[in-house]
Structure 1
Amino acid sequence: MAGLWLACRRPRGSSASWTRPCGPRDNSFSAVRGRAPGQIPASFRSRKGVGERFETLRHELRKGLGLLTGLVVLSTPAFISAQVKSSTAQSPDRAALSEKIVRYLRERFGVPETVKLTVGAFKNSFDPNLFDVTVTVDDGKEKKEQKLLISKDGRHLIVGEVYSLSSDPTDAAMRAISTRDQPAQGPPEAPVTIVEYADLECPMCARLHEFLESDLLGKYANKVRIVFKEFPLVAIHDWAQRAAVASQCAYQINPGAFVAYRSLVFRNQSSINATNSRDMLLNLAAQVGIDSLKLTVCLDSQASRPRVEEDIREGKQIGVVSTPTCFVNGRMIVGMPGPETFYRAVEEALHARQ
């Protein structure tokens, strides 16, 4: 298994193949785990934007604990089931509990006072002993939301997703994924739908896109449809968000040129950086016939950002934490484990439809 977890970015001059999805580094969780409240690694503190740091830590938590996060909610380590001391077993005052949550999050995640943390309404959750709470993180530039579970006695705060063991994850994913008015390639009536969550700055996403377009679609002709979703990893990729917005703008302006544009962006990854990304994205769009003026207006106004945010929300809901992540008729495949894995998944999906 160790060979599957190489660094996300290709070292300069390296010709090594890519087998690892883009996401937080493997050593991040071990570097953070076990530190006292308020202590976080210097590399983590130096990331741009507190919202991004909060998002990165959340990814580290989920990556380090995998799907167990939220399943053993009251017996997990301190980071996931963090005890918030209370002087009474009775349900505490909501305002006081909100202040306690904010104070704890600031100490644990190193969030400065300049960043506003707002605790939303306490709602009943799937468990009668827990509240669903959403905390909004606002650094003045953008807002991010983090869902928490709070024990009703005010003693525990739980970070992570909760997965139901009473439903089939494949069926749940198919129900949660929207395929209407989405950029896609292949016939709508195809018996197999592959939904790809990708980051346009992710090297493995570029490899997977080439494989899906050149090999898999050619092999299965009209039997497969691919639906493209945006999942920019803004905590580790500095132009991914802009590219995701440009991609969705391109779809809205000229749906027929979407796949060609996406392919061109992937092929030119090495030439794009945070400084030139706007100009590069516009120039590449012009090469495939997308109206430059319309794309400029859409990109600069971020008119398509709600579509990107909806893709991210949807992906997180069904367990996406790294890119690329695909769902073959609801079956999750993370990264690019090899062509045979995709062929087998398609064959099984076709067999199930017979």
Structure 2
Amino acid sequence: MMASLAVVLGVATVAGAQTQAGTGAAAKQATPPLQLQNLEPSTVPKDPFPPVNQKYFTATSPTVDTVNTFLKSLWGYDQNRIWRVEAIQKTQAPDVAKVIVFVSDKSANAKVQSTAFFVTPDGKHAIAGDTVIPFGATPFADARQTLEQHADGAWRGAPGKSLLLVEFADLECPHCKDAQGTMNQLAKDFPNAHIVFQPFPLTEIHPYAFKAAAYGYCVEKQNNDAFFSYADGVFNTQSGLAEGTADDTLNNAVKQAGLDPTAIGACANSQATKDQVNASIKLAQDLGVDQTPMLAVNGHLLPISAVPYETLKTIITYQAQQDGVSTGATAPTLGK
């Protein structure tokens, strides 16, 4: 979910972070000495971060290595970004640790900022503001496995799921309509990607999105490839998803896909199809998807509309490298 942890966790000034570090008896971690991450002496004239003070490491878990591996999974695609873990502290909540990280870049006189988050006792989640995100050395592995097993929307691209891109989208969502150009380009740029359109109708704000998703599932059952023609038809006539015209809009999209609207409508009204849509909604919610369109790249959630295309490509390439899979694309190799 994070193209930039600073966006998700919030960024404070260095001075503010230092006052948050607090005091307490040091609990030395069984990890290698703290080191400047992603920084080569030849690229930066001097260490831009404040010195590390072991008294700010009062928690034994998570380890510095785990935090760095976690951050590398999020930030490693950005070869200009550097960071250092400055504190891992006990809190008043049993086994809940507070982590403070200083962040900068390799340019001369770059500003140093900080970000903080809390790690839950199970070591599998981080809490940043009002957001809960996966944490650990391989934070996206569980979501990747879940999507491999349960993402059941229409798909295109490679049949194998080693590079799995799952787009959570709402057919009544204007931003999802805008994102289709991005998804089409990704399909061209990453030949080895298995790309899934996973329905996530936001029923509280889009009253016809659920029905559109149900129609979509029924189209997919008859002809997987026809779904994308149907989706284009709905997206191109979104204004028709309104009282008095919604049924005609959906039926016309079905006709555009070359299928029978009567049969699709009957299928969409069945309890089995409604259950399938509800299961897709629950899948999105269980994974922490809170907006559309959202793209899961082997489990790594990224808000499509908020990430520039070239950055999105870089993140996908990096994630594939981290997972040891081929994108099928001609692209520069990123640092590991």
What TM-score, normalized to structure 1? 0.51
Length, aligned pairs only: 200
Amino acid of the structure 2 residue aligned with 1:199: D
> Matches of 1:169 and 1:307 in 2, distance apart?
27
Secondary structure of residue in 2 paired with 1:327: strand
Q: Could you tell me the percent identity over the aligned residues?
A: 29
> Matches of 1:200 and 1:73 in 2, distance apart?
45
Q: Is the 8 A contact 2:133 2:288 kept in 1?
A: no
Residue 295 of structure 1 aligns with which residue?
Answer: 264
Residue 338 of structure 1 aligns with which residue?
Answer: 308
Residue 238 of structure 2 aligns with which residue?
Answer: 269
Instruction: For 1:154-303, list aligned pairs within 5 A.
Output: 165=135, 168-177=138-147, 178-179=149-150, 181-189=152-160, 191-213=162-184, 215-220=185-190, 222-301=191-270, 303=272
> Matches of 2:92 and 2:209 in 1, distance apart?
33
Q: Is the 8 A contact 1:238 1:274 kept in 2?
A: no
Amino acid of the structure 2 residue aligned with 1:240: A
Selected match of 1:350 from 316, 320, 331:
320
Q: Is the 8 A contact 1:253 1:291 kept in 2?
A: no
> Matches of 2:134 and 2:276 in 1, distance apart?
27
Q: Is the 8 A contact 2:153 2:217 kept in 1?
A: no
Shift of 1:264: 1.7
Residue 44 of structure 1 aligns with which residue?
Answer: none
Indicate the RMSD between aligned Cα atoms, in angstroms.
2.8
Q: Is the 8 A contact 2:151 2:198 kept in 1?
A: no
Shift of 1:217: 1.3
Residue 122 of structure 1 aligns with which residue?
Answer: none
Tell me: CA distance 1:163–1:206, structure 2 relative to 1, closer, same or farther (3 Å).
Answer: closer
Q: Which runs of 5+ in 2 are unaligned?
A: 1-90, 95-119, 122-129, 326-336
Instruction: For 1:80-99, list aligned pairs within 5 A.
Output: none
Residue 151 of structure 1 aligns with which residue?
Answer: none
Amino acid of the structure 1 residue aligned with 2:247: R
Q: Is the 8 A contact 1:230 1:311 kept in 2?
A: yes
Q: Which runs of 5+ in 1 are unaligned?
A: 1-71, 76-125, 128-159
Tell me: CA distance 1:190–1:310, structure 2 relative to 1, closer, same or farther (3 Å).
Answer: closer
Shift of 1:230: 0.9
> Matches of 2:233 and 2:272 in 1, distance apart?
22
